[in-house]
């Protein structure tokens, strides 16, 4: 039996998306971690230490300010992507264009711009600022577009976790590979190898990473696709500045997880950015950083692979808290490890190991907040919601870029410095900023997440179920669904007829979704009750939406709470847009699976455009055994009342 589940991606598409994550994080690692290293340890080398320090301070502050300014642009970037409509979809055009342009400009920034800073420092800073903000905006379009694709691939939480796990493996390898190769590669490609390389070494290394980012963006554009479903369609667009900020502020779960992630993001960006300085200037072992990065890649893959298992056994709150507690332990050990390489590697590994899992937890909560916001606010803002995560990542990166530059100057870790030239006071201040301040931020993140974030998998499943119940309402005003004559509706399944008001679900039993009937099933085969077009195959396969040739919009919903089964025990034989004939099998389900889970197996049949009919009557008695394709419901069309006046002549005797 072939299961045409639109909630799943092909292996090829998953691999392309994973490669996109690989390139995306390789690029981000180069931008956020090693551009600053290039600037502080090599770029400015006039021989005048005071002048070099001034240029380092100014340029790193420019980067911090520009990245913070760009944060306010991100929500508009997300909104612009949401409103993009092309044959390639909302996201892929931005992934390709943003990835291509940002890769080219970042490579230019790994040059001295023809020695411009030595000729005219002010002009250099202006040109640098223009190039940097342009690169950062295009990268934001690419990054927001890339991660915002996740809700468009599926609305199923488990499927999202699987796809996100593939992507996180790719991003872990991509980001880690940059750390592994950076110092050995830069030194190898340099014309005059030193502990921090030279301009040629940095440029060649940057060219390799930027090329990977360029190619991976095109792979995502060419080999993935967005799956449209009616649940993804907004009732209205989010427009204007006020609308954008209302959409964000109105989604309280998005805001709370964002705040927790903000403190977490700033903390790990500061500590993570200073790790290479620790190996270079505290330990005097810059190449040992590659050993740590190699270990970190393998640990990241292991952590990412463990996430699906741990997420089944632990709540998101418990897993988030546990991960940050482990990181705090690693940070404490790191602070006292000194120059003991095995101890430093152990401490840094303990600190880094949980980070991929924290990323996935936050990504899942933010992704699920899309449906939370859709239910609460009445419209769906995929890219707008998911723009929050990269926005916070970039804020953390912006703060760390500015802080790292100032710490490097304060500790004397600038051009020409070595481990032996760093003073005891410099080392102490360095360690306070690298460990103590971030540790406080991690504790704050734990408290916020534990007390305010309530969007669990179960809660998300309930939200999706509510959205599915109202999917057909948008067809009520669709002129293509006009009904010209009375209609008879057959039962799609055999069993015992139940009155709709007896169904143990207030939304269905109240008739707020629409009028209809229910069946206590005697088998697991769901058939088409009339000739129709399939307008929605829900990702969990427990429901299907039809628009009939007779004008009836029908929702067939199998069981109550069955969304929690995530498709287990259900097989779908149709896909969205498919034409079906009366009696054709739509879904097959294994009833014992539903009962074993302690769920109600009642099949609900709802006419969601009930308002088009004057009377809806059951043709059989409740409690009666019925067979699939027996006529059960009679729909009587509303009669148009004659309109008087307006140029019409009233009949006379």
Query: Is 645 a domain residue?
Result: no
The verdict on 347 and 438 lying in the same domain is yes
The verdict on 360 and 421 lying in the same domain is yes
Query: Is 642 a domain residue?
Result: no
CATH code of the domain containing 559: 2.70.70.10
Residue 651 is predicted with a pLDDT of 40
Lookup: tokens for 648: 């019409």
State the Cα–Cα distance between residues 139 and 128, nearest whole angstrom.
16
Identify whether the C-beta of residue 527 lies closer than 8 Å to the C-beta of residue 584: yes
Residue 211 is predicted with a pLDDT of 96
Lookup: tokens for 619: 């043709």
* Distances in whole angstroms, Cα of residue 340 to Cα of each of 110, 191, 295, 333: 33, 32, 17, 11
Q: Which residues are catalytic?
A: 557
* Alpha helices, DSSP H, located in 281-340: 288-313, 316-336
Query: Is 652 a domain residue?
Result: no
Pick from 530, 534, 522, 536: which is nearest to 589 by CA?
522
State the Cα–Cα distance between residues 343 and 283, nearest whole angstrom.
12
- The counts of H helices and E strands in the chain are 22, 14
Residue 234 is predicted with a pLDDT of 45
Residue 650 is predicted with a pLDDT of 43
How many independent structural domains does the chain possess?
3
Residue 239 is predicted with a pLDDT of 47
Helix, strand, coil share of the chain (percent; to 5): 60, 10, 25
Q: Are strands 543-548 and 532-537 parallel, antiparallel or unpaired?
A: antiparallel
The verdict on 197 and 276 lying in the same domain is no
CATH code of the domain containing 221: 1.20.1250.20
pLDDT averages per 10-residue partition of the chain, 653 residues: 49 85 91 84 76 84 84 73 77 92 96 85 92 92 81 59 76 83 84 69 93 95 72 48 62 89 92 88 85 86 86 90 96 92 94 92 87 77 71 78 81 78 86 92 96 86 75 55 77 94 88 90 94 83 89 91 84 86 93 90 91 85 91 81 46 38
Query: Is 644 a domain residue?
Result: no
The verdict on 205 and 314 lying in the same domain is no
State the Cα–Cα distance between residues 333 and 320, nearest whole angstrom.
20
The verdict on 450 and 474 lying in the same domain is no
The verdict on 40 and 185 lying in the same domain is yes
State the Cα–Cα distance between residues 245 and 251, nearest whole angstrom.
10
Query: Is 23 a domain residue?
Result: yes
pTM for this entry: 0.66
The verdict on 221 and 247 lying in the same domain is no
Residue 318 is predicted with a pLDDT of 94
The verdict on 108 and 33 lying in the same domain is yes
CA 477, 633, 462, 536 dihedral sign is negative
The verdict on 129 and 151 lying in the same domain is yes
The verdict on 263 and 412 lying in the same domain is yes
Query: Is 461 a domain residue?
Result: no
Q: Which of 190, 210, 228 is the last residue of a domain?
A: 228
The verdict on 405 and 427 lying in the same domain is yes
Residue 267 is predicted with a pLDDT of 93
Pick from 43, 62, 68: which is nearest to 53 by CA?
43
Query: Is 69 a domain residue?
Result: yes
Residue 325 sits in which domain range? Answer: 238-454
H or E segment at 145?
helix 121-153
The verdict on 125 and 247 lying in the same domain is no
């Amino acid at each position: 039996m072939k299961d045409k589940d639109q909630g799943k991606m092909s292996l090829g598409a998953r691999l392309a998306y994973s490669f996109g994550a690989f390139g995306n994080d390789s690029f981000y690692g180069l931008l956020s971690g090693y551009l600053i290293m290039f600037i502080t340890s090599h770029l400015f080398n006039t021989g005048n230490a005071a002048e070099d320090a001034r240029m380092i301070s100014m340029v790193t502050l420019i980067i911090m300010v520009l990245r913070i300014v760009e944060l306010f642009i991100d929500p508009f970037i997300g909104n612009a992507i949401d409103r993009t409509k092309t044959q390639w979809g909302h996201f892929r055009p931005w992934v390709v264009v943003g990835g291509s342009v940002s890769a080219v400009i970042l490579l230019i920034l790994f040059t001295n711009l023809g020695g411009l800073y030595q000729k005219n420092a002010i002009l250099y800073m202006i040109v640098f600022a223009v190039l940097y903000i342009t690169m950062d905006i295009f990268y934001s379009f690419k990054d927001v577009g890339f991660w915002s694709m996740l809700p468009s691939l599926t609305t199923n939480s488990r499927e999202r976790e699987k796809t996100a796990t593939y992507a996180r493996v790719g991003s872990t390898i991509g980001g880690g590979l940059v750390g592994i190769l950076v110092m050995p590669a830069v030194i190898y490609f340099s014309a005059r190898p030193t502990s921090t390389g030279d301009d040629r070494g940095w440029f060649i290394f940057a060219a390799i990473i930027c090329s990977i980012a360029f190619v991976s963006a095109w792979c995502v554009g060419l080999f993935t696709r967005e799956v449209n479903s009616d649940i993804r369609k907004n009732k209205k667009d989010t427009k204007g500045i006020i609308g954008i900020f209302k959409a964000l502020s109105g989604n309280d779960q998005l805001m709370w997880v964002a705040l927790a992630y903000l403190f977490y993001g700033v903390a790990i960006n500061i500590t993570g950015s200073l790790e290479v300085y620790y190996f270079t200037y505290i330990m005097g072992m810059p190449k040992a950083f590659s050993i740590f990065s190699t270990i970190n890649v393998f640990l990241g893959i292991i952590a990412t692979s463990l996430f699906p298992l741990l997420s089944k056994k632990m709540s998101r709150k418990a897993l988030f808290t546990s991960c940050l507690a482990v990181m705090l332990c690693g940070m404490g050990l790191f602070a006292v490890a000194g120059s003991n390489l095995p101890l430093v590697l152990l401490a840094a590994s303990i600190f880094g190991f949980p980070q991929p899992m924290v990323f996935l937890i936050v990504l899942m909560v933010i992704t699920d907040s899309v449906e939370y916001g859709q239910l609460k606010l009445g419209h769906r803002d995929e890219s707008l919601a998911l723009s929050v995560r990269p926005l916070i990542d970039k804020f953390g990166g912006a703060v760390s870029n500015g802080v790292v530059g100032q710490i490097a100057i304060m500790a004397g870790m600038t051009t020409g410095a070595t481990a032996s030239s760093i003073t005891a006071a410099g080392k102490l201040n360095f360690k306070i900023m690298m460990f103590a301040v971030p540790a406080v931020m991690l504790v704050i993140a734990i408290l916020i997440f534990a007390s305010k974030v309530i969007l669990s998998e179960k809660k998300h499943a309930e939200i999706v179920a509510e959205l599915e119940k109202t999917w057909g309402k948008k067809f009520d005003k669709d002129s293509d669904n006009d009904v010209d004559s009375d209609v008879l509706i057959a039962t799609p399944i055999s069993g015992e007829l139940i009155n709709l008001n007896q169904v143990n679900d207030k939304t269905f039993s109240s008739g707020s979704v629409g009028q209809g009937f229910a069946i206590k099933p005697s088998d697991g085969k769901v058939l088409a009750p009339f000739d129709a077009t399939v307008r929605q195959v829900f990702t969990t396969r427990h429901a299907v939406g039809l628009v009939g040739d007779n004008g009836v919009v029908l929702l067939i919903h199998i069981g109550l709470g069955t969304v929690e089964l995530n498709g287990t025990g259900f097989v779908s034989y149709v896909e969205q847009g498919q034409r079906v004939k009366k009696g054709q099998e739509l879904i097959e389900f294994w009833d014992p699976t539903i009962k074993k889970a302690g769920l109600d197996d009642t099949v609900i049949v709802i006419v969601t455009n009930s308002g088009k009919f004057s009377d809806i009557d059951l043709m059989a008695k409740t409690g009666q055994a019925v067979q699939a394709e027996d006529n059960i419901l009679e729909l009587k069309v509303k009669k148009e009342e004659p309109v008087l006046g307006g140029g019409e002549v009233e009949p006379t005797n």
